[in-house]
Amino acid sequence: MSKKLLVTALLPFAALAQDPSSINNDEVTVVTANRVEQAVSDVIAPISVITRDDIELTQAQSLTDVFRMLPGVDVAVNGGRGQTASVFVRGGESDHALVLIDGVRLVTSVSGFIDFNQIPINQVERIEFIRGARAAIYGSEAVSGVINIITKGGLQDSVSVSAGLGSNHYKTSNLYLFTNITENTSAKVTANFEATDGYNVKPYPGLNDGDEHGFESDSYSFLLNHKFNQNISGFAQLRYYQNTYEYVDTSTYNNNPHLGKKNEGQVENKSTTVGLKYKLNSLESSIQYSQSEQDDVHFSLVGSSPTFSYSSQYEQETLNWISNYVFNDHFALSGGLDWASQTLGEDTRDNKAVSLNLMTNVDTLSINTAVRTDDNEHYGTNTTWNIGAGWFVNPIVRLTANAGTAFKAPSLYELSPNSGNPELKPEESIGYETGVEFFTDLVNVSLQGYRNEVDNLIEYNYATYGYSNALGKNVLQGAELSLDFDTSIVSNTVSLEYLDAKDANGNDLVRRAKHKAKWQGIVSFNDIDWSLQYLYQGERFDINDVVLSSYSLWNLSAQYQITSQFKLSGRIENLLDKEYETVDGYPAPERGYYINASYEF
């Protein structure tokens, strides 16, 4: 197992150029922990890596299907495909986990939610998930973790198409093309379509009987890579996404006459990213600019034709420069400058940041230290730090410890005089964790314990319809036990978790279970790969002290490589047809059947 610094590339270039399929599992490298490429064994923070093979084995239909099986994660979805989803990491709020796509911060909706639907699961090459505070690396939002979704890249010419069908009239199709135009220039094109009629995600007996709430989306991307010479390379990427989804009007404000009726949301997102990288001997430096626009329009579907309800326009620009210098096998230093601008309607704010990160690896001891200062024109300056240490007691046992601070800036929507509170302060946290890891030929074991204290939590008061900073501390603490081992022909992955997440008044935070258990078994025989998943979620509270019942969920999937080019896959979701809810009043999907065929030219 390598204990040597492997810092050879910077985001997003590593994310775009790396071909995970060509890497031996014992030599897997990641790019998310410190914004530079490192061997997994050199990363001190707890990390999970989900590869393309993992996704295809489970036949996950969406990103949330993948997230819910990760250690330390709770997922709450307002119904089925296309509906709003919240991802809670280690008991933190749903906006305490920073989400990136190819290293670029994803645009949030006006209400602060990430629209995970805009990233087709069949275009994802790998997902890197870091648990713990990383604000000293990334700034705001990286309070409880970072999720980096890396899309398919390529090294050789490749064309693939796929199509699938499923329950609730689900259908999907996608195209992936990668080609080397010249010796130094390559291009990637993707197109994806997905639709479902859905089901009644929020039943109101007598008000919306028989309603179905569907979802339809299409997305496209284009990437151009060019190597100018041995030292300089660059890329340009365009993305376009739009979806239409139906949901239920749940507002009770002023005795809303449309309660329970069907609404429609339309989302359009356009983004452009360009970058350059310079590499000479031990020095690497990159500069990247990204611009994203998202338009949300909502309609009421009561009556013979849609009636406009409201709309929002959000724009985000980022510019960052990162440099890394490897002094020798033991020391590497990276630093960067970040600028970001966010615009919601007529409101705009800028944020500037400078960061420094020292990675040290001497014999059996690794130490990472990082510090970052963010200067925001609205709420001032935040300085965050992180320090982590890992010590290999012997070749198979490592002890780890991490500590760090983080912050979450209030969104423009939360600060708006019309919809929020201009006096809001940033949320601030300090966290600690310790761990022990065992690496053997028979089993890999990781045990982590953590505690995170959050001040100034931004709360929404459903009685006053306003935002405010909570008094006191939210305390999030827990433990995670992860195991990987083989039993005969079955490869097993197990996660057992305990979480105690309380607000300043000692109340349990909503939609976060104290006890969770997750297991996945994979077996191959007769040219068929089988995967069986089990998920247990304990009781948890929802809004208004509602108790959501515990549940156990089974998913079964299989894939058959009929020829070297043609593959057939299937999935039975909610195998035992369990009735459960992750949000009060929103029944989860019943048993579902999905089949997919793919062909690679």
Q: Which residue is listed with tokens 């020391």?
A: 331
Quote the pLDDT of residue 600: 94
For 515, residues 6+ apart whose C-beta sits below 8 A from its C-beta are 497, 498, 499, 536, 538, 550
Residue 254: Cβ within 10 Å count: 6
User: Do 145 and 134 touch, CB atoms closer than 8 A?
Assistant: yes
Give the rounded percent of residues in the chain with a pLDDT score beyond 90. 78
Q: Assign 526 to helix, strand or coil.
A: coil
Indicate the DSSP class of residue 123. Answer: G
For 328, residues 6+ apart whose C-beta sits below 8 A from its C-beta are none
For 326, residues 6+ apart whose C-beta sits below 8 A from its C-beta are 5, 7, 282, 332
DSSP alpha helix (H) spans, 323-379? none
Per-residue pLDDT, averaged over 142-154, amounts to: 91
Per-residue pLDDT, averaged over 246-274, amounts to: 91
Q: Which of 275, 322, 319 is nearest to 17 (CA)?
A: 275
Per-residue confidence at 20, pLDDT binned at 50, 70, 90? very low
Per-residue confidence at 9, pLDDT binned at 50, 70, 90? very low
Per-residue pLDDT, averaged over 346-365, amounts to: 93
Per-residue confidence at 412, pLDDT binned at 50, 70, 90? confident
Mean pLDDT in the chain? Answer: 90
Structure tokens, 66: 């993948």
Q: Assign 545 to helix, strand or coil.
A: helix
For 205, residues 6+ apart whose C-beta sits below 8 A from its C-beta are none
Residue 12 has pLDDT above 60, yes or no: no
Quote the pLDDT of residue 14: 34
Beta strands in 301-346 (DSSP E): 307-326, 331-344
Q: What are phi and psi of 261, to 5 degrees?
A: -80, 170
Distance CA 97, CA 275 (A): 25
Quote the pLDDT of residue 174: 95
Q: 19-23, 57-61, 80-84, 569-573 — which one is most confidently predicted on average? A: 569-573
Q: Assign 304 to helix, strand or coil.
A: coil
Q: Assign 211 to helix, strand or coil.
A: coil
Quote the pLDDT of residue 92: 95
Between CA 357 and CA 6, with CA 431 as vertex, the angle to 5 degrees is: 30
Q: Assign 465 to helix, strand or coil.
A: coil
Distance CA 113, CA 109 (A): 5
Distance CA 301, CA 466 (A): 27
- Sorted by where each starts, the structural domains of the chain and their CATH numbers stand as 13-600 (2.40.170.20)
Residue 225 has pLDDT above 90, yes or no: yes
Backbone region of residue 200 per phi and psi (left: phi > 0; alpha: psi in -120 to 50; beta: other values): beta
Residue 517 has pLDDT above 70, yes or no: yes
Between CA 149 and CA 416, with CA 243 as vertex, the angle to 5 degrees is: 80
Q: Give the pLDDT confidence of 437-471 residue by residue, as tens digits.
A: 999 999 999 999 999 999 999 988 777 778 899 99
Quote the pLDDT of residue 110: 55
Residue 1 has pLDDT above 80, yes or no: no
Q: Which of 296, 347, 350, 295 is nearest to 318 (CA)?
A: 350
C-alpha distances in angstroms, 472 versus 420, 422, 475? 21, 20, 10
Distance CA 445, CA 447 (A): 7
* Residue type present at position 470: A
Q: Assign 412 to helix, strand or coil.
A: helix
Quote the pLDDT of residue 109: 60
C-alpha distances in angstroms, 502 versus 170, 446, 540? 39, 25, 12
Per-residue confidence at 207, pLDDT binned at 50, 70, 90? very high
User: Do 514 and 499 touch, CB atoms closer than 8 A?
Assistant: yes
Q: What is the CA radius of gyration of the chain?
A: 23
Per-residue pLDDT, averaged over 163-192, amounts to: 96
Residue 27 has pLDDT above 70, yes or no: no
Per-residue pLDDT, averaged over 330-356, amounts to: 93
Distance CA 414, CA 36 (A): 33
Quote the pLDDT of residue 586: 97
User: Do 102 and 274 touch, CB atoms closer than 8 A?
Assistant: no
Reply yes or no: is the peptide bond before residue 12 cis, omega within 30 of 0: yes
Q: Give the pLDDT confidence of 69-113 residue by residue, as tens digits.
A: 999 999 999 998 999 999 999 999 999 999 999 988 888 765 567
User: Do 42 and 2 touch, CB atoms closer than 8 A?
Assistant: yes
Q: Which residue is listed with tokens 């990641």?
A: 30
Residue 21 has pLDDT above 50, yes or no: no
User: Do 390 and 377 touch, CB atoms closer than 8 A?
Assistant: no
What's the residue count for the chain? 601
Residue 23 has pLDDT above 50, yes or no: no
